[in-house]
Amino acid sequence: MSYKLSIKKKQWIVVIHVLSVVCWLGGAMVMLLLGLYMQKAENGEQLYYTLENMHLIDVVFVRYTALLALFTGIVLSVWTNWGLFKHYWILIKLILTVALIAFGIKYMGAWLSQIVRIAQQERSLALSDTAFLNASYSLIGGAAANIVSLIFMTAISYIKPFGKINKRASKSKPGAAA
């Protein structure tokens, strides 16, 4: 028999999970808004400090809360009756969460570092630098993709679509054994 969370422990982990997702979503929204604001910077100092704030938001509200959401989601799946691989909606959330975190680590962090470096060197001239503009548009698009994905994952958490993963296999097993 596998370990199951008590009701109180489950409730606390759900609270932590929901708060981490809220922080992640809020961080992604702030990243999007600051990315759009950055495009209209009036001087190099405004541009650079906007990017510094984006970096701070990325570290505080996106990176660690995304990892916390992944960890608490796995705990809730494994240590409750839901299971990690019993329902399509849970598997979809797991795959999307891992994909978003990997995308953030591989691409978004690099884009943010690149535009911070360019803005630090060039200040307001960065707004006409092709590499800066390409990376900043990619970063804005990545923030938008995070937002859409997180809203989708929140929706399927409540709707619970697509059914069980092995629904047909489990129905045919009792008949096969008889």
Contact partners, residue 118, CB within 8 Å, separation at least 6:
126, 129, 131, 132, 135
Q: What is the pTM of this model?
A: 0.88
Assigned domain for 2 exists: no
- CATH for 43: 1.20.120
Q: How far is CA 85 from CA 17, 74, 91, in A?
A: 19, 11, 6
**What's the token pair of residue 104?**
């953030």
**pLDDT tens digits, the chain, 178 residues: what are they?**
478 889 999 999 999 999 999 999 999 999 999 999 999 999 999 999 999 999 999 999 999 999 999 999 999 999 998 999 999 999 999 999 999 999 999 999 999 999 999 999 998 899 999 999 999 999 999 999 999 999 999 999 999 999 998 866 555 555 544 4
69, 14 in Cβ contact below 8 A? no
**What's the token pair of residue 8?**
């109180």
Please tell me the total count of domains within the chain: 1
Assigned domain for 1 exists: no
15: domain range? 7-177
Spatial separation of the C-alpha atoms in residues 88 and 164, rounded to whole Å? 6
